[in-house]
Structure 1
């Protein structure tokens, strides 16, 4: 009798653990889908990407909400810029030798000055940080948070065996049979399942343009945090409407306004400012670089992240 009771109790514990795992995976469906994109579509190493996802989850717990969802909405080449920056940050944190080896090859990107400044990551943070040196100054605190998320979330949610289990349970449920006991247990477990809305359809004004996904912000950032500083070749300015039309055609309806220098009489403007609808579009337009160069109606335009100045600019 005792053997039967112990076996029943063990089975209940296994079912409860399985239900908790399924609940956790359903809660993190967006993160799982993005992880699979990183590995399958963008060719990244799964072991390293678990740590990258742990770092991004930590950023969200630190107040930078929807960070992963916003990165996931970006084109592949820009996403890889975010990955390079995440790996550079992780290289500053203390880890066991085996964990360091998982990121050793990718951490070579830390030698790139542009990566160390974290231009892409900072574009999505509520308050920018001082590059990878921030992780040097707070390494123990950050590693504790990142390590906890890696252990309790990423090793479970991004585990191939767990994914296989989830897919099979979902398939059996969709075939029309009775609800599996594991799902019934999950429904009554303390794990809260957050509803995940479907992603908005991409807007495409130009069939050759990259897809643009509007990033919803309940409280839009001030213009200074979602602006680009632009310059023209001297004597060859570009009209505001032409700049807006070009960027909206290339990246979707991402531009809120364009301002151009109010030049003195007899002079031509040489600089301006583009205000984007979302800070998330900054690394997209700049292609993850510090500066970008465009050719609009035969004239050159240079763009970089806007840095507010104590001296007010004179715009028309």
Structure 2
């Protein structure tokens, strides 16, 4: 791939886009951008990051290369471990937020006192401390033009088949979540959730009870079974974990709306089928929910310690947006989920 220290000298910013269509085939274009495709694939399918945000990450990294801050940045990341790639993608997410939201840039610069070591330590190291938050904020319009052009001229063409595969997987994941939710509703709607000796007895065919009288021995046996079943039910009740004790409280950043499906897909991918219900804050059409409650399934109640950590709080990044997770504590008058 040819790189240039000048943003607009990049071959990706040619004003004659038809030149690519005439001279470069789809396979050739994919081959030319193999490194970019490899990084995008790892972001989406290995690190389970959002495709749209991952495209913007690649577009931003290409701008960093084209400006001469790190000429082989994408190739270096492809040869790196997933942990570094994920960390750099998170930092790029902050940079993109600065580009797209001037209020956010003021918030970051003001609260961190231009401390790039805290906000973008990996990008700072990879660019020999030349790329800074102040630079990104100062040249935001120029960088944003470069990101947009890279998205249109490179990413949309180089990743077209990967997009298709990713969207299919997302749809399958959402459909799977919907099917599981419907199965859960059907199961919760039935009178008995788990088979017991008593439930088996109730399902005994009607012809079994045609006798009008039960011998005394069988009567005593029936009483014994009932008493034993009562003890089993009591034991089961003792093992029930109240909903509040397996609920986590999620808070979202204002200006960065996130949907219930995004939350469900992220936590399902990370922790498995642990979610029983997600209750988003009720908001008007022109507003975004700022918090939600996520209830874990009974059998995964212990997972709450892993999600919120022993400090009873944690932070996740979902599609480039920060989500803070806390242990849920209900007020005495608050009803259960």
The alignment's TM-score, normalised by the length of structure 1, stands at 0.39
- Structure number with the higher helix fraction is 2
The alignment's TM-score, normalised by the length of structure 2, stands at 0.36
Pick the structure with greater CA Rg: 2
